[in-house]
Structure 1
Amino acid sequence: MLSIVGEMLAVARAAEIVRVEAVTSLSSSVLGSTVIPYREVTLSAQVPGAVKFVAGEAGSGFNQGDVIVRIDESQLTAKRNAVLAQIAIAQATVQNSQAQYTRELISPRSKDIGAMPGFGLPAMFDMTMVRPFADSMMGNYDSDMGRYSDLMSSATGVSQAQSNLQQAMSQLQEIDAALGDAKSVAPFEGIVLEKLVEVGDTVQPGQPLIKFGYVKYKRLQADVPSGLVGNLRVGMIIPAKLDSKTTLMVKLSQIYPVADPSRHTVTVKFDLPVDAVAAPGMYAEVYLPETQTGDAKIVVIPKTALLRGRSLPSVLVVKNDNTSELRLVRLGAEQEDGKVEVVSGLSADERVVDKPPATASSGWMPPVE
């Protein structure tokens, strides 16, 4: 008997008066999401041809700049050789035209006395007698204009030759660019997510070749209903669960600025912790708040404040005159810190008895030490 009385006294002494708390609502919506790489690109063909080389299978890792796919470039190589020959011809033409211009500049054809037979006498007579007479008396011949015309003709030949050389050089640059496009290189360090072609396949410009991704860091991608997006902010820490097993916290990193007009959802991305064991394509769940932070308050009490052994949840509420009354309450969701949500029956400015004995009723108060 004494032991039973001692136990009852110990239970009574453990009881205490606590104040009802009002905290931010933790109600949340569970949405499915997918693990995706931190960065993902699709390497597509830039030139037509047959696939000549594929570096590895799905899961193979590459460093930035490594060649992953190469397309046969034999036709481009033949065109390049032809353009090189055109460049050689154009360079020779430029040299010849420059020599002709220099010759005209130093030794004009209009003053060449050896251009006619007879030891140049007819040409000398023409230069010393006929042309000066025509310049001064007749007025219909200008020897300086003739020389200017010859110089311009030679200069035009140099300009045309240089333009032809520049055109050939531009063709060479175009072919070299096409040769560079014949190989697909890794834009960053990562792995092959999916191989879409095999050696020997014929591809056309724009056809996907490889899906490549950076998977050292990973993300979750979810389609969030537009009604919940207003509660989210970049940088928020949100609980998530991988394959319904591993619970972790993720950071909201991106909210798309537009919504899908057919499904009325917005794409949202979350950063996973670096040490999270996950692979692209895995299923995950994210728990999104249904209200904005600070918008909704709920009343919570310790679960130990509920009177045990009763069919309906009830608590002892301490009144202003330091007496208690038994009150029925309606409970909501349980919290992670040993507390329970009270939907109705209590307000945040009231006090309750925590850890009351099972036999307590209205009027019972913890003993004063």
Structure 2
Amino acid sequence: MLWSIGWLPAVHSAEIVRVEAVPSLSRSVLGSTVIPYKEVTLSAQISGAVKFVAGEAGSSFQQGDVIIQVDESQLMAKRNAILAQISIAQASVRNSQAQYTRELVSPRSKDIGGMPGFGLPAMFDMTMVQPFANSMMGNYDSDMGRYSDLMSSATGVSQAQSNLQQAMSQLQEIDAALRDAKSVAPFEGIVLEKMVEVGDTVQPGQPLIKYGYVKYKRLQADVPSGLVSNLSVGMIVPAKIDSDATTMVKITQIYPVADPSRHTVTVKFDLPVDAVAAPGMYAEVYLPESKQGDTKVVVIPKTALLRGRSLPSVLIINNDNTSELRLVRLGAEQEDGKIEVVSGLSDDERIIDDPPSTASSGWMPDAK
């Protein structure tokens, strides 16, 4: 018992209050894992031996930095061979264009030294014999011959240009493979896991490293499908990381489908920037078991409980304005110094808050 100065009993600030009904804060505790904000797996794009690894797990890189490189000696040899083919194709194009120009300027069909002359002097052959062959004999047409020669020269130019374009395409393919020989950082981050060492032989598709952006972090949890309906993107819920102090996390993603074998839905939560956590850490997330406002529970101030009793009890006010001692069953603690009452009280009943420990049925606070 408390005593004031002069050995007089202390004055209690007891008062009559009404029992409240508030939304239930019943929560389920689920295990989750800290994950990076973004995570990718860099895989080999070409076969070969690893000749360079920039760092170990935990090493940080900027966007565009080379992290792993596969030996590209064979690709460089192929590239040099393609460059030689390009030189040959370019020379062929120049030669075919020269032959086509020659046919335009000096057609072979008009050559005075060519058939169908009979070995006569060139002037006589051009003015007499060839016109005679065109008009009278009918077995030779110089214009058709010239058209055929032009088409042959033009076809040669087209074929040479196609060969050059084919060689250029092969060079582009080799250059793309050379770029794929390097695994570069897609964004600022750190190496989460290194899977190869210098000298390892890799094949296309083989994982090389796991890389993540860890400036911001998230929690990932498999939530039972029955609880997902109570969640929404943007909702704030409490969480604990490795049993440390409680922090608040924000729901940022709810997967649209459930795992058919476990009947769970993957949910991601954003952690505060200042949260002390590393990828892979264990965390607990506290999720509501019902939608906000769906279920009401009775709560009272914790100071309304009579102190020193083996069973929790309170003083209620009857209709005739007298107090009566009543046992209650308590539930989870709420915010603002209140506690849930599972049974023993109903909504809107009146109780005495902060009664003295010696109070019993019939005790009433002093009128003010």
Determine if the TM-score, normalized by the shorter chain, exceeds 0.5.
yes
Matched residue of 1:343: which SS?
A: strand
Provide the rounded CA distance (Å) in 2 between the counterparts of 1:199 and 1:334: 57
Q: Does 1:212 align with 2:214?
A: no
Matched residue of 1:155: which SS?
A: helix
> Cα deviations across residues 18-74 of structure 1 (Å, max 9, x unaligned)?
121111111111111111111111111100001111111111111111111111101
Give the counterpart letter for 2:9 in structure 1.
Answer: E
- Tell whether the 8 Å contact from 1:115 to 1:123 is kept in structure 2 after alignment: no
Q: Does 1:165 align with 2:164?
A: yes
Q: 1:3 to 1:358 in 2, by over 3 A?
A: same
Aligned residue among 7, 10, 32 for 2:9 = 7
Q: 1:310 to 1:146 in 2, by over 3 A?
A: same
Provide the rounded CA distance (Å) in 2 between the counterparts of 1:118 and 1:143: 12
Determine the structure 1 residue equivalent to 2:255. 256
Taking the TM superposition and a 5 Å limit, the aligned residue runs for 1:91-240 are: 91-115=90-114, 121=120, 124-125=123-124, 127-137=126-136, 141-240=140-239
The root-mean-square deviation of aligned C-alpha atoms, in Å, is: 2.3
**Cα drift, residue 129 of structure 1:** 3.4
Determine the structure 1 residue equivalent to 2:297. 298
Matched residue of 2:9: which SS?
A: helix
Q: 1:120 to 1:238 in 2, by over 3 A?
A: farther
TM value normalised by structure 2: 0.93
Determine the structure 2 residue equivalent to 1:43. 42
Deviates more, 1:248-257 or 1:117-126: 117-126
Determine the structure 2 residue equivalent to 1:78. 77
Give the counterpart letter for 2:105 in structure 1.
Answer: I
Give the counterpart letter for 1:158 in structure 2.
Answer: V
Matched residue of 1:144: which SS?
A: helix
Provide the rounded CA distance (Å) in 2 between the counterparts of 1:4 and 1:22: 42
> Cα deviations across residues 249-285 of structure 1 (Å, max 9, x unaligned)?
1111111111111111111111111111111111111
> Cα deviations across residues 197-229 of structure 1 (Å, max 9, x unaligned)?
111111111111111111111111111111111
- Tell whether the 8 Å contact from 1:113 to 1:120 is kept in structure 2 after alignment: no
Matched residue of 1:94: which SS?
A: helix
Provide the rounded CA distance (Å) in 1 between the counterparts of 2:33 and 2:167: 52
Deviates more, 1:112-121 or 1:253-262: 112-121
Provide the rounded CA distance (Å) in 2 between the counterparts of 1:303 and 1:246: 23
- Tell whether the 8 Å contact from 2:49 to 2:199 is kept in structure 1 after alignment: yes
Provide the rounded CA distance (Å) in 2 between the counterparts of 1:138 and 1:243: 106
Provide the rounded CA distance (Å) in 2 between the counterparts of 1:312 and 1:278: 42
Provide the rounded CA distance (Å) in 2 between the counterparts of 1:193 and 1:133: 90
TM value normalised by structure 1: 0.93
**Cα drift, residue 123 of structure 1:** 5.8
Determine the structure 2 residue equivalent to 1:286. 285
- Tell whether the 8 Å contact from 1:43 to 1:209 is kept in structure 2 after alignment: yes
- Tell whether the 8 Å contact from 1:21 to 1:300 is kept in structure 2 after alignment: yes
Which blocks of at least 5 consecutive residues in structure 1 are unaligned?
A: none
> Cα deviations across residues 70-99 of structure 1 (Å, max 9, x unaligned)?
111010000000000000000000000001
Matched residue of 1:235: which SS?
A: coil
> Cα deviations across residues 154-190 of structure 1 (Å, max 9, x unaligned)?
1000000000000000000000000000111111111
Provide the rounded CA distance (Å) in 1 between the counterparts of 2:153 and 2:189: 59
Give the counterpart letter for 1:101 in structure 2.
Answer: Y
Matched residue of 1:368: which SS?
A: coil
**Cα drift, residue 6 of structure 1:** 3.5
Matched residue of 1:7: which SS?
A: coil
- Tell whether the 8 Å contact from 1:195 to 1:211 is kept in structure 2 after alignment: yes
Q: How many residues of Structure 1 are paired with residues of Structure 2 in the alignment? A: 366
- Tell whether the 8 Å contact from 1:223 to 1:266 is kept in structure 2 after alignment: yes
Deviates more, 1:130-139 or 1:278-287: 130-139
**Cα drift, residue 132 of structure 1:** 3.3
**Cα drift, residue 311 of structure 1:** 3.4
Deviates more, 1:209-218 or 1:176-185: 209-218
Q: 1:326 to 1:122 in 2, by over 3 A?
A: farther
- Tell whether the 8 Å contact from 1:116 to 1:123 is kept in structure 2 after alignment: no
- Tell whether the 8 Å contact from 1:90 to 1:165 is kept in structure 2 after alignment: yes
Q: 1:3 to 1:134 in 2, by over 3 A?
A: same
Q: Does 1:246 align with 2:245?
A: yes
**Cα drift, residue 337 of structure 1:** 2.5
Deviates more, 1:111-120 or 1:288-297: 111-120
**Cα drift, residue 144 of structure 1:** 1.9
Provide the rounded CA distance (Å) in 1 between the counterparts of 2:184 and 2:272: 29
**Cα drift, residue 138 of structure 1:** 5.4
Taking the TM superposition and a 5 Å limit, the aligned residue runs for 1:17-56 are: 17-56=16-55
Q: 1:303 to 1:246 in 2, by over 3 A?
A: closer
**Cα drift, residue 147 of structure 1:** 1.2
- Tell whether the 8 Å contact from 1:303 to 1:338 is kept in structure 2 after alignment: yes
Q: Which runs of 4+ in 1 moved over 6 A?
A: 1-5, 116-120
